[in-house]
Protein backbone atom coordinates (compact mmCIF):
# COMPACT_ATOMS: atom_id res chain seq x y z
CA UNK A 1 0.00 0.00 0.00
CA UNK A 2 1.29 3.45 -0.75
CA UNK A 3 1.96 5.43 2.39
CA UNK A 4 2.05 9.00 1.19
CA UNK A 5 -0.36 9.26 -1.65
CA UNK A 6 -0.77 12.41 -3.63
CA UNK A 7 -3.57 13.39 -3.43
CA UNK A 8 -4.48 11.77 -0.09
CA UNK A 9 -6.85 8.82 -0.11
CA UNK A 10 -9.51 7.91 2.46
CA UNK A 11 -7.10 5.92 4.64
CA UNK A 12 -4.38 8.56 4.83
CA UNK A 13 -7.01 11.21 5.52
CA UNK A 14 -8.39 8.98 8.27
CA UNK A 15 -4.99 8.48 9.93
CA UNK A 16 -4.26 12.21 9.80
CA UNK A 17 -7.64 13.01 11.26
CA UNK A 18 -7.36 10.47 14.08
CA UNK A 19 -3.91 11.93 14.89
CA UNK A 20 -5.57 15.29 15.37
CA UNK A 21 -8.70 14.04 17.15
CA UNK A 22 -6.98 11.78 19.68
CA UNK A 23 -4.24 14.31 20.37
CA UNK A 24 -6.87 17.00 20.86
CA UNK A 25 -8.77 14.76 23.27
CA UNK A 26 -5.78 13.84 25.46
CA UNK A 27 -4.71 17.49 25.74
CA UNK A 28 -8.25 18.68 26.39
CA UNK A 29 -8.45 20.51 29.77
CA UNK A 30 -8.89 18.37 32.86
CA UNK A 31 -11.31 21.00 34.12
CA UNK A 32 -12.94 22.43 31.00
CA UNK A 33 -14.84 25.70 31.07
CA UNK A 34 -18.28 25.95 29.49
CA UNK A 35 -16.57 27.55 26.51
CA UNK A 36 -14.11 24.63 26.19
CA UNK A 37 -17.04 22.23 26.22
CA UNK A 38 -18.94 24.19 23.58
CA UNK A 39 -15.89 24.30 21.34
CA UNK A 40 -15.27 20.57 21.59
CA UNK A 41 -18.90 19.79 20.81
CA UNK A 42 -18.95 22.27 17.92
CA UNK A 43 -15.72 20.91 16.48
CA UNK A 44 -17.13 17.39 16.28
CA UNK A 45 -20.45 18.58 14.92
CA UNK A 46 -18.79 20.65 12.18
CA UNK A 47 -16.49 17.73 11.36
CA UNK A 48 -19.62 15.67 10.73
CA UNK A 49 -20.71 18.27 8.21
CA UNK A 50 -17.38 18.93 6.51
CA UNK A 51 -15.35 15.70 6.64
CA UNK A 52 -14.40 15.14 3.01
CA UNK A 53 -15.50 11.48 2.77
CA UNK A 54 -19.24 11.58 2.27
CA UNK A 55 -20.20 8.17 3.64
CA UNK A 56 -17.78 8.58 6.57
CA UNK A 57 -19.32 11.96 7.43
CA UNK A 58 -22.83 10.57 7.17
CA UNK A 59 -22.02 7.78 9.65
CA UNK A 60 -20.24 10.26 11.89
CA UNK A 61 -23.36 12.41 12.08
CA UNK A 62 -25.34 9.33 13.07
CA UNK A 63 -22.74 8.29 15.68
CA UNK A 64 -22.69 11.80 17.16
CA UNK A 65 -26.45 11.77 17.46
CA UNK A 66 -26.47 8.37 19.17
CA UNK A 67 -23.53 9.19 21.44
CA UNK A 68 -22.90 12.94 21.82
CA UNK A 69 -19.36 14.01 22.78
CA UNK A 70 -18.57 13.57 26.48
CA UNK A 71 -16.81 16.81 27.27
CA UNK A 72 -16.99 16.98 31.08
CA UNK A 73 -13.29 16.19 31.55
CA UNK A 74 -10.14 15.18 29.66
CA UNK A 75 -10.57 11.57 30.68
CA UNK A 76 -14.18 11.53 29.52
CA UNK A 77 -13.41 13.15 26.18
CA UNK A 78 -10.39 10.90 25.48
CA UNK A 79 -12.42 7.80 26.29
CA UNK A 80 -15.35 8.97 24.20
CA UNK A 81 -13.03 9.62 21.22
CA UNK A 82 -11.56 6.15 21.61
CA UNK A 83 -15.03 4.63 21.59
CA UNK A 84 -15.96 6.63 18.49
CA UNK A 85 -12.86 5.32 16.72
CA UNK A 86 -13.72 1.78 17.84
CA UNK A 87 -17.13 2.13 16.19
CA UNK A 88 -15.37 2.92 12.92
CA UNK A 89 -12.91 0.06 13.51
CA UNK A 90 -15.81 -2.31 13.96
CA UNK A 91 -17.42 -1.14 10.72
CA UNK A 92 -14.20 -1.47 8.74
CA UNK A 93 -13.18 -4.79 10.30
CA UNK A 94 -10.15 -3.39 12.13
CA UNK A 95 -9.14 -4.58 15.60
CA UNK A 96 -10.72 -2.99 18.62
CA UNK A 97 -8.37 -0.71 20.56
CA UNK A 98 -8.07 -1.07 24.38
CA UNK A 99 -9.36 2.30 25.52
CA UNK A 100 -7.59 2.05 28.88
CA UNK A 101 -4.35 2.51 26.88
CA UNK A 102 -5.42 5.71 25.18
CA UNK A 103 -3.24 8.05 27.31
CA UNK A 104 -0.15 5.90 26.71
CA UNK A 105 -0.76 5.74 22.96
CA UNK A 106 -1.57 9.41 22.46
CA UNK A 107 -0.02 11.37 25.33
CA UNK A 108 2.52 9.71 27.63
CA UNK A 109 4.09 7.19 25.29
CA UNK A 110 4.11 3.41 25.77
CA UNK A 111 5.60 2.25 29.07
CA UNK A 112 8.10 0.05 27.21
CA UNK A 113 9.56 3.13 25.52
CA UNK A 114 8.54 1.99 22.04
CA UNK A 115 7.75 5.56 20.93
CA UNK A 116 11.23 6.82 21.80
CA UNK A 117 13.18 5.99 18.67
Interacting residues toward ligand FAD by CB under 6 A: 10-11, 14-15, 17-18, 22, 51, 55-56, 59-60, 82, 85-86, 88-89, 91-92, 94, 97, 102, 105
Q: How wide is the angle at C-alpha 56 spanned by C-alphas 6 and 82, nearest 5°?
A: 100
Residue 28: asked if its preceding bond is cis (omega within 30°), the reply is no
CB of 33 to ligand FAD, least distance (A): 25
Give the C-alpha separation, 47 to 9, whole Å. 17
Q: CB-wise, 10 or 65, nearer to ligand FAD? A: 10
For helices 34-50 and 54-66, angle between their N-to-C axes, nearest 10 degrees? 140
Q: CB-wise, 59 or 75, nearer to ligand FAD? A: 59
Q: Which residue is nearest to ligand FAD (CB)?
A: 14
CB of 30 to ligand FAD, least distance (A): 19
Residue from 49, 105, 42 nearest 78 by CA? 105
Amino acid sequence: AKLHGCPVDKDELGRSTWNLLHTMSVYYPEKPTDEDKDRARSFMSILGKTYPCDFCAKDLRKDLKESPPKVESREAFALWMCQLHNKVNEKTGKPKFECRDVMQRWRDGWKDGSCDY
